[in-house]
Amino acid sequence: MSEIRVEQLTKTFGALRAVDDVSFTFPNGQVTCLLGPSGCGKTTLMRIIAGLETQTTGAVYFGDQDVSRLSPSKRNIGMVFQYPVVYRGISVYRNIELPLQSMKLSNAERARRVEDAIRLLGLSASANLDVSKLDNGTRQKVSVAREVARQPQFILFDEPITNVDAASKLQLKRSLKELTRSLSQTIVYVTHDQTEAMTLADQIALMEEGRIVQCAPPRELYNHPYDRFGGWFLGNPGMVFFTATLSGGENHRVLESPLFSLPVAVDGAAIAGSDITIGIRPEHIRVSPEPLPAGVPARLARKTVQIGGQYLLALDVHGLGDQGFKAKVAPTAGEHLPSSGQVNVELPLDQVSLFDAHGIRIAASLHPVGAPVAD
Ligand code: ATP
């Protein structure tokens, strides 16, 4: 096993740069999810790694080997697609066994591999059933088991859960999680679904317009987005943003916003200009019927309950113009709020991110003016 590396990879379709100068390493033995909105280039990047698409420029390496010119069959990879690829009319066992017949394996080794794959995917109860009789979630498991039994160098997954019936999605996701943990194989997993990526990935490579904008473990990506795009794309709903005013000199910068009852001191890296945006995750905004120590009055326009019992609140604050925003609170906090009317909101300063005029997050810490800086 080894890592997959792409260097200065570009793929154009006419004027469109589907993959735009990507240099990146998919680490050995880890699950890397390529996540991003529709059309950002995830599938094209994966297809280039598989050899199903030819790059316009750049190179693909498997370990030290340059595989850029090798055909897909010479790359020794497994692929799982959006729709299950199975042979109808034969059993689960035979589906998994068939591709192994063209490999030079002893009967015992072939049987061992099929049985291991069946066990890993939890398919024992359906091993002798005709695949036509299975739901499409179980069929997708058969597709995965077949690739696992071949023992390729890498496995590439292209949105394998997207077209599975809603009822089977969770179960398939769990199976894939268990499988990837026990395989410890280099896996590239394409998805546009952030919960899937959060569940399965060791690290998420977030893509936008043909580029990988950030790669980090799921929690880090969520808590410390590289830019506003990452803040907005992750989360349900994503981060909320407000313009704020930054004033003062290098050692005494002060941030003002209608959401702060008092000016806030800013410490940290150099900040060019005064054009600043503050961002916060909706679930970090405190909302209360009572006044809050550093809070401001707000109007609760709407309160709706979400799956899981949390409440989604539509709020506005005097001074923000027409900009309404969303907050998300736990069931107990939400139950104590009126369905609409006057409330109070507070932005905990340790949860507030700052973004510069280009939308890039600034490493900085915020604290009340006059208070000592927290470590
Ligand atoms: P989705 O989640 O919708 O599959 P994606 O992030 O996987 O999106 P790609 O399928 O890689 O995105 O497509 C990236 C861009 O390249 C899109 O604008 C798409 O329309 C375009 N594209 C992909 N394949 C081709 C092709 N064969 N010919 C022309 N344009 C293409």
46 and 192 share a domain? yes
> Which of 10, 40, 188 is the pocket-test mutation for ligand 1 (most atoms within 8 Å of CB)?
40
Whole-angstrom distance, CA of residue 235 vs CA of residue 214: 16
219 and 244 share a domain? no
225 and 246 share a domain? no
Cβ neighbours, 10 Å, residue 34: 29
195 and 251 share a domain? no
If you take atom 20 of ligand 1, which residue's CA is the nearest one?
A: 39
- Give pLDDT, residue 375: 47
- What is the number of the ligand 1 atom nearest to the C-alpha of 45? 11
Indicate which CATH number applies to the domain containing 265. 2.40.50.100
8 A C-beta contact, residue 258 and residue 296: yes
Structural domain containing residue 34 = 4-232
CA dihedral 361, 364, 367, 369 (to 10 degrees): -110
Ligand 1 site, residue 210, Cβ cutoff 6 A: no
Last residue of a domain, one of 213, 232, 251: 232
β-sheet bridge partners, residue 8: none
CA of 38 to the centre of ligand 1 (A): 8
Ligand 1 site, residue 38, Cβ cutoff 6 A: yes
Indicate which CATH number applies to the domain containing 8. 3.40.50.300
Q: Is residue 193 part of a domain?
A: yes
Q: Is residue 373 part of a domain?
A: no
Q: Is residue 95 part of a domain?
A: yes
> Which of 16, 54, 206, 212 is the pocket-test mutation for ligand 1 (most atoms within 8 Å of CB)?
16
Whole-angstrom distance, CA of residue 36 vs CA of residue 210: 10
180 and 243 share a domain? no
Low-confidence ranges of the chain (pLDDT < 50): 373-375
Residue type, 129: L
352 and 304 share a domain? yes
Q: Is residue 314 part of a domain?
A: yes
If you take atom 31 of ligand 1, which residue's CA is the nearest one?
A: 13
Q: Is residue 375 part of a domain?
A: no
252 and 227 share a domain? no
296 and 359 share a domain? yes
β-sheet bridge partners, residue 279: 241, 353
CA of 1 to the centre of ligand 1 (A): 29
For residue 107, give every residue at least 6 positions away whose Cβ sits within 8 Å of its Cβ, in sequence order, or none: none
Last residue of a domain, one of 203, 232, 261: 232
- What is the number of the ligand 1 atom nearest to the C-alpha of 46? 11
Q: Is residue 30 part of a domain?
A: yes
Going by DSSP bridges, is the β-strand pair 203-208/31-35 parallel, antiparallel, or unpaired?
A: parallel
- Give pLDDT, residue 273: 65
8 A C-beta contact, residue 280 and residue 240: yes
pTM of the model: 0.92
Name which of 271, 289, 266, 285 is nearest 339 in CA terms. 289
β-sheet bridge partners, residue 190: 34, 158
- Give pLDDT, residue 103: 93
Last residue of a domain, one of 201, 232, 263: 232
Ligand 1 site, residue 41, Cβ cutoff 6 A: yes
Terminal CA-to-CA distance of the chain, rounded, Å?
42
Q: Is residue 43 part of a domain?
A: yes
- Give pLDDT, residue 372: 52
Ligand 1 site, residue 12, Cβ cutoff 6 A: no
203 and 245 share a domain? no
181 and 275 share a domain? no
Q: For the chain, what is the domain count? A: 2
> Which of 33, 42, 56 is the pocket-test mutation for ligand 1 (most atoms within 8 Å of CB)?
42
- Give pLDDT, residue 68: 97
If you take atom 24 of ligand 1, which residue's CA is the nearest one?
A: 44
Name which of 42, 34, 30 is nearest 3 in CA terms. 30
227 and 265 share a domain? no
Ligand 1 site, residue 42, Cβ cutoff 6 A: yes
Q: Is residue 194 part of a domain?
A: yes
249 and 298 share a domain? yes
If you take atom 9 of ligand 1, which residue's CA is the nearest one?
A: 41
